[in-house]
Amino acid sequence: KAGVTQTPRYLIKTRGQQVTLSCSPISGHRSVSWYQQTPGQGLQFLFEYFSETQRNKGNFPGRFSGRQFSNSRSEMNVSTLELGDSALYLCASSIQGVELFFGEGSRLTVL
C-alpha cells in the first residue's frame, strides 16, 4: 500500500516568489492536513481538508493557502515568499482525521 507522496521533495525559491506543493494521500484517505516544521518553532499546524472542504486552519497569514481535489489530492500554496518561510512542509493523511500518516515532506529554501 503506497504511502503519502509529496512533490517536489526539495525546492529553492527567492523572496517574493510563490510556490505550490503537492500531496497525494494514502488511497482511501479523505482527510489531508499540512504542517510546517522549522528548527525554532517545531511542527505547526497549517490547515486540514476533508472531502474538498477546509475543516480547520492554523494561525498562519493569508499568504498560505490550500485546496483539495475530488480525488483527495491536495496542494498548498505560499505567495510572496519570505525568508522565514524556509521550512520542511509535511503533509499527512488519515481516514477520518484520527490517526495521521505523514509523507517525507517538501523542503523549501527561500533565498
Classify residue 96 as left (phi > 0), alpha (psi -120 to 50) or beta: alpha
Residue 23 C-alpha cell reads as 500531496
Q: Which of 8, 3, 1 is nearest to 88 (CA)?
A: 8
Residue 92 in the binding site for other proteins (CB under 8 A): yes
Smaller CB separation from other proteins, 79 or 100: 100
Distance CA 64, CA 111 (A): 18
Rg of the chain (C-alpha set): 13
Per CB under 8 A, contacts with other proteins among 21-50 are: 31, 33, 35, 42-45, 48, 50
Smaller CB separation from other proteins, 11 or 102: 102
Q: At closest approach, how far in Å is the CB of 16 from other proteins? A: 27
Q: Which residues make up the interface to other proteins (CB under 8 A)?
A: 4, 6, 31, 33, 35, 42-45, 48, 50, 55-56, 58, 90, 92, 94, 96-105, 107
